[in-house]
Each structure stands twice: as structure tokens, then as C-alpha cells.
Amino acid sequence: LIALALLHPELRNEIAQSGAGANFEEIRLGGVLADLCRTDEPYTALEEWIADRLTSDEQGRISEFAVGPLNDEVVDETQKVSSELEKCRAIANDYVVALERRRRAREVGRLRGSGADVSAAQAVIALRREGRGA
């Protein structure tokens, strides 16, 4: 999601609205995503900012994502941009859903570990129902 937000400023508001930053297991990365989604600066203007906040490994993964698959087809530029944006939007949505599932799974695991407490059991049931509704 950080790579998508970095490379596609037009998706930042949608990503921010999803609340995905709060679902990151690593709070630092959730904060980076939230901060990134609050700016409309292009990638080139954010290179130093990103370098200060991400490890070299994380920056490498963003670079790999940016290169993406090479496409030899000659397509009208407007159609190509629109198609790429829709693909990125779908990928972002998949990441958001995956982060929500992982967060719920962590919460269920934490609640299960808290013993046979009735309120913990009710919380597990509520989380499972939430997962089925998503």
C-alpha cells in the first residue's frame, strides 16, 4: 500500500479513507502510510522523505513494485493510464482487505489467549461475525 500511495498520488485519499494504516501490524509502517496519504507531492519530491522513514529493504520492494511487469503492447496512452490506475485500485483494495483480516486474526488470537473469560468469548464471536460481513 505504501508503494501504491507513493507511486499513485490519485489513490492516496482512497487508501486513507480505507483506514488501512490502523491495521498495520508494524505501527511505524502504518504511520508512514498515513503521513504519505496526507500529501499530494509526487514521488520524486518524496524520495528523501521516504529514505528517512523506510529501511533499504523496504525501499527496494517499492522499487521492484514500481518497475512492475513490462508490457510490449502499444495502447492509447489515456487507456493505458486509466487501466493501470484501475489495476492499482484493485490491488490496493486487496491489500486493505488482507490487512483487515490479519488484524482480526491477531485480535482473535489475543482474545483466545486471555482465558475462558465470557467477555473475551463474546469479543471473539463479534470479530468472527465482522469477518463474515466483510
**What is the per-residue pLDDT across 27-56, written as a single tens digit (0 to 9) for each?**
999 999 999 999 999 988 998 999 999 999
Find where cell 465470557 sits: 118
Cα–Cα distance, 45 to 2 (Å, whole number) = 15
| Sign of the alpha-carbon dihedral angle for 116, 131, 87, 27 | negative
Average pLDDT over residues 104-114: 79
Amino acid at 30: G
The mean-pLDDT minimum among 52-56, 69-73, 118-122 falls in 69-73
